[in-house]
Amino acid sequence: MMPTLPTVKSALTRLLHWTAAIMLLQFANAARAQTATVCIDHYPPFTYFVNNKAQGAMIDALKMIADEVGFSLAVSVNTAFARCLRMMQAGKMDLMVSLMPTPERLEYMTMFAYSEPEALRMVARADFDGEPETALDILRLRVGLINGYEYPPEFERHPMVIQAPQPEAGLRLLDARRIDILVLNESVAAHLVDQAAAAGNQRTAIYKLLKATFLREQNVNSIGVAKASWLHGRKDQIGASIARLRAAGEFERLIEKHQIQLRHSE
């Protein structure tokens, strides 16, 4: 008995649906097979290493973004911040996290903010006497700044500035009494002071936060996508994913989670 015309049409329709589904699956797998590399340094609680494995709030966030957009994520070995910038400019890295937008960086990166502008806060040794509040007060002190941060002009023009590559290096300058104050993003400053106090159940504080804060509208933590990277073709999807996570409070939740983890690991 010959199959009827409707039966043949139904079989062809099912075949076309199966073919389309297979093609979509293959396309999704091919897209996910593309790997984007994020260039990071040691910057807890955002990015840090435990037994040579990258962890941190921004690693967790990028994994969520990669799953949503459809690519695999690889992480660089602990790489100096300045070198990460050069590699992004050359298209040798695809992503950077926890950096501030500047005119120079925006020439070779598209950047997406994941936080509101963050205040700068001063850290001093516990035995430091005084509460500098004005630029004149600060000019009397030896000041430690961190490479890659955005500072007010009165800090950058300071005659007694020492630059440190990372916040922990800045703390070592404080320990050695080479500087009087270290200026950091408020969240990082609070984390480092809290972590130092928790280490070994210290009975006396090692560092303290000074009261004054300084706010710059440009001081916005962002995720950067290299314009020379293949991933830049998906910048709109990445931006939408970041906006969704930000609206849901995911970045704050992840930062708090890793602050607690680090505190308990001491």
pLDDT interval class at 33 (50, 70, 90): low
Do the bridges between strand 181-185 and strand 119-125 make them parallel or antiparallel, or are there none, so unpaired? antiparallel
Q: What is the pLDDT of residue 71?
A: 97
Q: Any idea which fold 119-215 has? A: D-Maltodextrin-Binding Protein; domain 2 (3.40.190)
CB count within 10 Å of CB 123 equals 25
Can you tell me whether residue 251 is helix, strand or coil?
helix
Q: What is the pLDDT of residue 24?
A: 46
Q: pLDDT by residue (tens digit) across 76-128? A: 988 988 899 999 999 999 999 999 898 999 999 999 999 988 889 999 999 99
Instruction: Average the pLDDT over 222-243 and give the result.
Output: 98
How far is it, in rounded angstroms, from Cα 254 to Cα 133? 32
Domain with CATH 3.40.190.10 in the chain: 32-116+220-265, 119-215
Q: Quote the tokens at residue 28.
A: 């999704």
Closest CA to 81 of 58, 53, 47, 110: 47
**Mean model confidence pLDDT for the chain:** 86
Beta bridge pairs of residue 215: 119
Q: pLDDT by residue (tens digit) across 157-195? A: 788 899 998 899 999 999 999 999 999 989 899 888 888
Judge residue 161's burial from the number of C-beta atoms within 10 Å of its C-beta, 0-12 exposed, 13-18 middle, 19 or more buried: middle
pLDDT interval class at 14 (50, 70, 90): low
Cis peptide bond N-terminal to 117, omega within 30: no
Do the bridges between strand 48-50 and strand 53-55 make them parallel or antiparallel, or are there none, so unpaired? antiparallel
Residue that is written with structure tokens 């070994």 in the block: 200
8-state DSSP, 92: S
* Of the candidate ranges 18-32, 91-105, 202-216, the one whose mean pLDDT is the lowest: 18-32
How far is it, in rounded angstroms, from Cα 61 to Cα 70? 14
* CATH number, span 32-116+220-265: 3.40.190.10
